Amino acid sequence: MTELKFGIFDHLDRGKRTIDDLYDQRLKLIEQYDHSGFYAYHLAEHHSTPLGMAPSPSVFLASVAQRTRTLRFGPLVYLLPLYHPIRLAEEIAMLDHLSHGRLDVGVGRGRSPIELMLYGSDYAQGQAIFDEALAVLQQAVAEDHINFSGKHFTFRNVPVELRPVQKPHPPFWYGVGSPESADEIAAKGFNAVTLAKPAVAAEIARHYYAGLARTGQSGRRMGICRFVVVGDTDQEARALAIRAYPVWHESFFELFRRFDQKPQQAWPNDFDVMQAQGLAVAGSAGTVARMLGDQLELVGANYLVSQLVFGDMTVDEAAKSIGLFASKVMPSLVAAHDARKVAAASSV
């Protein structure tokens, strides 16, 4: 059983702030993640919506590289249908060098037809473009020349002057939504994160680990992602969560409202409902550790990704929640995970 690690997921949603304040405040909190022992910071990419104020993740992550020392970081995900794959490979190599080998690369095709449409990209062609772009990207980060012939991209003997620090390439990540896709992602050797409810997440993890075993791979991360708020008491944490979450939810739905469409994944607009579904947790350190520990055990995940900052949380409110999570929740979850490792080893 692999060591348990802790990551951060961030939409970088506007939350009624000015953009310069948003960036300054988030970078300050990312420094706290770095000092607090988190493994990685994962940044979403969105366009034309207040849900994501990092439409160019590489630009924001370049600042993250300079403000941190041990924290790994990367997009979750780069929307490959919107990129020229060689240009993106060059950005990836730059970020890996700027951070001295701390970049993790999440890739995806995009789940919002509206965002792709606004960029002039055909959503129906998204999977085909993703597949070709990924193939080119994997060549560009691992080989000296790129040779590729496809429907959407064709390159002949393109020299690669800039390669990542990490060999053969930075780790790849993918957001997994179904057990069927988990098999494919495991076969590729990608790390995985899911937003699915606990029962579905457990099935995804089962398929993922089985896929790794079939291909003889190990050391990968299978993560679950949850909204998390920690306070001195359950009441304090819940009050913050039920105030901040609707602000995030409003940003999430804004683009769909503008175009009178429904999202593929319709998050509830009530934090208590989210918690009841296992998608969020707010409470004291003890409550949060118990609830997340139960999910980690059920799913068999070795990676917990928390969305600790969202909506209209202030820097002080977020910093307190992060501090309590790092100092009290993380050690408790690690102890429980290690105990399960010992028990599993003794039963063999």
Find how far residue 326's CA is from the centre of its chain: 18
Backbone angles phi, psi at 130, to 5 degrees: -55, -50
Name the most confidently modeled range: 115-119, 206-210, 258-262. 206-210
pLDDT above 90 (res 104): yes
In the predicted model, what is the mean pLDDT of residues 204-221?
94
The fold of 1-55+222-348 is TIM Barrel (3.20.20)
Burial (CB < 10 A; 0-12, 13-18, 19+), residue 165, is middle
pLDDT range class, residue 2, cuts 50, 70, 90: confident
Q: Which two tokens stand for residue 79?
A: 């929307």
Indicate the pLDDT class of residue 131, thresholds 50, 70 and 90.
Answer: very high
Query: Distance of alpha carbon 302 from its chain centroid, rounded?
Result: 14
Look at residue 231 in the predicted model and tell me its pLDDT: 98
Which tokens is 30 given?
Answer: 């990312």
What percent of the chain is predicted at pLDDT more than 70?
99
Angle between helix axes 330-346 and 285-299 (nearest 10 degrees) is: 30
Indicate the pLDDT class of residue 344, thresholds 50, 70 and 90. confident
Model pLDDT, residue 286: 98
Res 163 pLDDT > 90: yes
Q: Spell out the domain ranges in the chain.
A: 1-55+222-348
3-class DSSP state of 282: strand
In sequence order, the β-bridge partners of residue 39 are none
Cα–Cα distance, 17 to 313 (Å, whole number): 10
15-62 pLDDT tens trace:
989 999 999 999 999 999 999 999 999 999 999 999 999 999 999 999
How far apart are the C-alpha atoms of 327 and 325, rounded to whole Å?
A: 6
pLDDT tens digits for 68-97? 999 999 999 999 999 999 999 999 999 999
Its pTM surpasses 0.95: yes
DSSP codes, 22-34: HHHHHHHHHHHHH
Task: Give the model's confidence band at 255: pLDDT under 50 very low, under 70 low, under 90 confident, else very high.
Answer: very high
The lowest-confidence range among 130-134, 216-220, 296-300, 311-315 is 216-220
CA distance 129 to 123: 10
What is residue 343's predicted lDDT score, i.e. its pLDDT? 80
For position 1, what pLDDT does the model report?
61
Tokens of 18: 């000015």
Tokens of 316: 């002080």
348 pLDDT more than 80: no
How many C-beta atoms lie closer than 10 Å to residue 34's C-beta?
A: 18
Alpha-helical (H) ranges within the chain are 19-35, 57-67, 85-98, 113-118, 126-140, 179-188, 198-214, 234-258, 271-276, 285-299, 315-324, 330-346
How does pLDDT run across 289-317, given as a tens digit for each residue? 999 999 999 999 999 999 999 999 999 99
Can you name the residues that pair with 79 across neighbouring β-strands? 108
- Find the mean pLDDT for residues 252-275: 90
